[in-house]
Amino acid sequence: MLNISNNPLNKSVSLDHFESARRVFRSAYRRHFNQFLLVFAIIGIVILFLPWTQNITGQGQVTTLTPEQRPQTLQSQIPGRIEEWYVREGDFVSKGDTILRISEIKSEYFDDRLVERTQDQIDAKSQSVGAYQGKVSALQRQTSALQNERALKLQQAKNKLMQAGLKVQSDSMDLEAARTNIEIAQRQYDRTSLLQEEGLKAVRDVEVMRLKLQETQAKLISQQNAFLASKNEVINAELELSKINAEFADKISKAQSDMYTAQSSQFDTEAQVTKLENAYTNYKKRNSLLFITAPQDGYVNKAIKSGIGETFKEGERLVGIMPAIYDLAVETYISPIDLPLVHLGEKVRVQFDGWPAIVFSGWPNLSYGTYGAEVVAIENFISENGKYRILLAPDTGDQSWPEAVRVGSGARTIALLDDVPIWFELWRQLNGFPPNYYRPLQKEGLTAKK
């Protein structure tokens, strides 16, 4: 009893005749209880010095090791309308299998023979290109013929000019001879007149010489006319030469202009052919997009657009597919304060949802139902949830992960860090300090080698 009342009962009531009181208040019981407390205290102190593995816990989910193995959705590159489904949800599809067929909803692609008609346009334009090429070749030949004809005409005019020049020289020599003859005739006439006055020559001789002088003067005038006519022929030949140059230059320029016009039309038609060929390829490729096919082997998870006749836009999700072959991994998230403590290649324990487990986070050797993993990637940019994403792959040196684990199921991760005494871990937790910062030995060795 505590004896805190003004009417103490221990003096008026005796408990000795009660068997339970005799057993409780005997000295042997108190001695055993004190021994128990002493042993418990010693065990507690010993436990405080046992090793404890510091760890970082996180929540994540099962995913795949490579991006192409993760669940994906199939989209259409073009807007359309669902016409027919060839699979059901849960069906296995191989790469290239048709999943559904769609149809066009844009009016410019309604023509079922759009590809054939575009090919016909390409053929027509190609023939037009051939016609322009023939026209260009004909104009090139015409230009060459005109150039050859101009060369012959010029040569002929040059020869004529040369002949006129030679004739001028000949007439010039004849003119000089006529001038010489008139001087001789004048001297003979003067000499005959003088002799006639002296009575040595008859009047008839003077008249003959006068007649000869007049004839010589007439020949001189005629030769002067011939000389001037020859010079005029030279001028005419030069004019003819210039006329030929101008005439053929105009003809050749016109032929070249027509040829360049034909070439321009040819190039424009070739550009139209190229544009039509591009459109033909696009139409042909667009026709192939009317069938949505499986990009890889997998299972159809969910038909997002399910109704027949339902329309959709380009890039809109139509169906989800899960690859058949994948390598499991776990993505987990850690706080920014713990990021410097995680390194590539570190060991992590994983507990999967649905698998019973007994976990001692500080004593991983005593845990049951956890599986080994290894850090293979650390995200360098913070995620939307304010934490950093860590990717874990199965540890090849540990127990294999369960085969029944599926992508998307939950997982709890425990990253094993440094070993410290339990009392230190309790002191750290009470003060809110982060785990000890450390570097793996293998990382230091790699750094030293580098």
Tally the residues of the chain: 450
- Are the C-beta atoms of residues 389 and 383 closer than 8 Å to each other? yes
- What mean pLDDT is predicted for residues 375-384? 88
Q: Which residues contact 344 (CB under 8 A, 6 or more apart)?
A: 375, 376, 377, 378
CA 307 to chain centre: 36
The whole-number pLDDT of residue 445 equals 42
Tell me the CATH architecture of domain 114-288: Orthogonal Bundle (1.10)
pLDDT for the residue numbered 440: 64
The model scores a pTM over 0.85: no
**Tell me: the pLDDT tens digits for 200-240?**
777 777 777 888 878 888 888 888 888 888 888 888 888 88
Query: Would you list the domain boundaries of the chain?
Result: 1-48, 54-69+326-449, 72-104+290-323, 114-288
CB 99, CB 292: distance < 8 Å: yes
- pLDDT exceeds cutoff 80 at 62: yes
Take residue 377 and report the two structure tokens written for it: 């990637």
Query: Residue 322 — φ and ψ, nearest 5°?
Result: -115, 120
> Average pLDDT for residues 14-38, to the nearest whole number?
69
The two beta strands, 51-64 and 328-334, are antiparallel
Residue 5 has pLDDT above 80, yes or no: no
Which of the four pLDDT bands, split at 50, 70 and 90, describes residue 449? Answer: very low
Q: What angle do CA 234, 239, 244 make, to 5 degrees?
A: 125
Q: What integer best gives the mean pLDDT of the chain?
A: 82
The DSSP letter of residue 309 is T
Lowest mean pLDDT among 11-15, 51-55, 89-93, 158-162: 11-15
Distance of alpha carbon 22 from alpha carbon 15, whole angstroms? 8
Which CATH code is given to the segment(s) 72-104+290-323?
2.40.50.100
**pLDDT tens-digit readout, 413-435:** 887 766 667 777 677 777 766 66
In DSSP notation, 74-122 reads EE-SS-EEEEEE---TT-EE-TT-EEEEEE--SGGG--TTHHHHHHHHH
Q: Cβ distance 407 to 352 under 8 Å? A: no
- What order of strands is seen across the sheet that includes strand 298-303? 72-75, 317-323, 298-303, 92-93
pLDDT of 192-207, one tens digit each? 788 777 777 777 777 7
Which stretch of 33-37, 264-268, 422-426 has the lowest confidence by average pLDDT? 422-426
- Which CATH code is given to the segment(s) 54-69+326-449? 2.40.30.170
Under a CB-based contact definition with an 8 Å cutoff, are residues 116 and 257 in contact? no
Q: How confident is the model at residue 365 (pLDDT cuts 50, 70, 90)?
A: low
The answer to whether 98 and 292 have CB atoms below 8 angstroms apart is yes
Phi/psi at 295 (5° precision)? -75, -20
